Amino acid sequence: MSRARAWVLFLVLALVLPMWASAQEAPPPAIFTMDRAVQYALDHYPTVRAALEQINVSTAGVSVARSAYLPRLDSLWQSNRGTANNVFGQVLPQSVIPAMSGPVLSSASGGSRPTLARLRRLSLALVFCVSILPFFVGPLAAALGNDDPLNGRTKIWAGVATMLSERPLTGYGYEVVWRRRKATRLPEIEITAQRSSTSAHNSILDIAAELGIPAAIVACFFLFTALVETARLFEREPSDFSLFALLFTLGIVVMGFTEAHLFRIHSMLWIMFVALIVAVSRSLERLEPASSGGISA
């Protein structure tokens, strides 16, 4: 009988003790307040978060709308380049659109490309300055108190003026005047015996002293034609070659004010210049349309 009581007591304890232990360890129930419920909804429901972001967007939109009532200052600059049929007032993309008005232009906008007549005038003026101004540099420099402004070139140009007064039409002959130093054939003109007298140091005056004024006029016409032709080629067909031809020809003409480059048969610069002008002429012939009197195929 005692063993039966012992087993009953053991079973009771085995059932009661675990229940009593779990009851002792269980935490108290949490209180779910209203604030915690709202925070939980904000953290776990995307619809609520999206609604809040919409509120933020609306607030920002109100700020942008109010900015339209604030004063503003715009600065615009544009540059147009087109054919002769453009109209004043063409605009590029910008924040405001100014009014368009004005007649059709007779030339490119702003005169971006000079006309052939203007090119001829500029070329003629440049050749004129190269050929005539040397005679005025010396007297002008002397009047300003400088007797040698260009390393003796003004004295050489004064000697050329003396030569032209003696033989204006024929000159003294090719390769006769310069580069002879003490063996000069013009001892009466002292400058021809100087070491610096390797040439007239001017392309046009060099030819005038040796071949006469008519030959110098031909040289001026040659330079004038070269400038006009290279400018025409660049205007009609802008390219690396036409730009090089124009700049090279312009450099030859400008350098001709203080150095002599024309008709130097052993000069690589002169050979390149002649070859370049021939190439320019052939390029213009290729671009020129067939004459109206020609026979079309």
**Distance separating alpha carbons of residues 253 and 261, to the nearest angstrom:** 9
Amino acid sitting at position 278: V
**Distance separating alpha carbons of residues 171 and 100, to the nearest angstrom:** 63
Its pTM stands at 0.57
**Between residues 55 and 106, which one has the greater pLDDT?**
55
At residue 186, does pLDDT exceed 70?
no
pLDDT tens digit sequence for 66-95: 766 777 776 766 655 554 545 455 555 566
Residues 89, 98 contacting (CB under 8 angstroms): yes
Q: Which residues of 245-258 are buried (b: 16+ CB within 10 A; e: fewer)?
A: bbebbbebbeebbe
**Distance separating alpha carbons of residues 235 and 120, to the nearest angstrom:** 13
**Distance separating alpha carbons of residues 216 and 207, to the nearest angstrom:** 6
Mean per-residue pLDDT of the chain? 74
Residues 59, 65, 68, 70, CA torsion sign? negative
pLDDT tens digit sequence for 51-66: 777 888 777 777 767 7
Mean pLDDT of the region 235-252: 89
pLDDT tens digit sequence for 190-218: 777 677 677 788 889 888 888 889 999 99
At residue 133, does pLDDT exceed 50?
yes
**Between residues 91 and 126, which one has the greater pLDDT?**
126
At residue 106, does pLDDT exceed 60?
no
**Distance separating alpha carbons of residues 131 and 112, to the nearest angstrom:** 29
